A and B are shown apart, each in its own frame.
Chain A
Amino acid sequence: DGGITQSPKYLFRKEGQNVTLSCEQNLNHDAMYWYRQDPGQGLRLIYYSQIVNDFQKGDIAEGYSVSREKKESFPLTVTSAQKNPTAFYLCASSIGGGGPVTQYFGPGTRLL
């Protein structure tokens, strides 16, 4: 059963603590993304990765870090530098290529 999984579903972060959110996909997609969603707002792009060992900053990358060591995995670390981390975090993936792509989302992690 193909899809995107995120864990944990809820995560409590103590002030000054770094926390890592997991995202795994078995869709064989080349590209993966991390978004932040605040109440009543659209999605804002944190980081994206087009291919293994490569990633690019999105619109709100400050205070976050990522790695892409495997095609299937794209973990997001929320660092202590992120002053307002409470939000719903969504991971997505898509096929690669230069044309427009449809992104498919995981179930999300709520960071409290």
Chain B
Amino acid sequence: GESVGLHLPTLSVQEGDNSIINCAYSNSASDYFIWYKQESGKGPQFIIDIRSNMDKRQGQRVTVLLNKTVKHLSLQIAATQPGDSAVYFCAENSGGFKTIFGAGTRLFVKA
């Protein structure tokens, strides 16, 4: 059958602009969400996390927004830089050791 996810969603932004990467999650019971950044040929790197009792959390140049009503998560990167070019994926956890990872979005930053 067709293998979905071979062609990652792609976002292309100009250097200095803000980036918004979206993620839809599936499990209403998930109460912990994480964003990871993965550069080519490397392991995923933790960026920021948020618990389900929060709507927004800010880090350095990044903000995560959580909308539990529509099961939607977004990662905002301010003043995007060339070094931000990578695949970004969200992960959801409903407690315990099982974490579900999304397929990811590829971010291209144009100089």
Q: Is A41 an interface residue (CB 8 A)?
A: yes
- Residue from A42, A101, A105 in contact with B43 in the complex, judged by beta carbons closer than 8 Å: A105
Q: Closest B-chain residue to A39, C-beta based?
A: B6
Cβ of A34 within 8 Å of any chain B Cβ, yes or no, is no
Q: How many residues of B are counted as interface, with CB atoms below 8 angstroms from the partner's CB atoms?
A: 30
Count of A-B contacts judged by CB separation below 8 Å: 62
Which B residues are CB-close (under 8 A) to A35?
101
Of B34, B44, B45, B89, most buried by chain A (CB within 10 Å of CB) is B44
Supposing A39-B6, A106-B43 touch, asked if A99 and B97 sit within 8 A by C-beta, the answer is: no
Instruction: Tell me which residues across on chain B come within 8 A of A64, comparing CB atoms.
Output: none
CB of A74 within 8 A of chain B? no
Stretch of A43-51, A65-73, A75-83 on the interface side:
A43-51
**A90 in the interface, Cβ–Cβ < 8 Å?**
yes
Q: Is A100 on the interface with B (CB-CB < 8 A)?
A: yes
Given A102-B34, A105-B45, A107-B42: A43 touches B101 (CB 8 Å cut-off):
yes
7 tightest Cβ-Cβ pairs between the two chains A and B: A100-B32, A105-B43, A42-B101, A43-B101, A100-B93, A40-B6, A41-B5
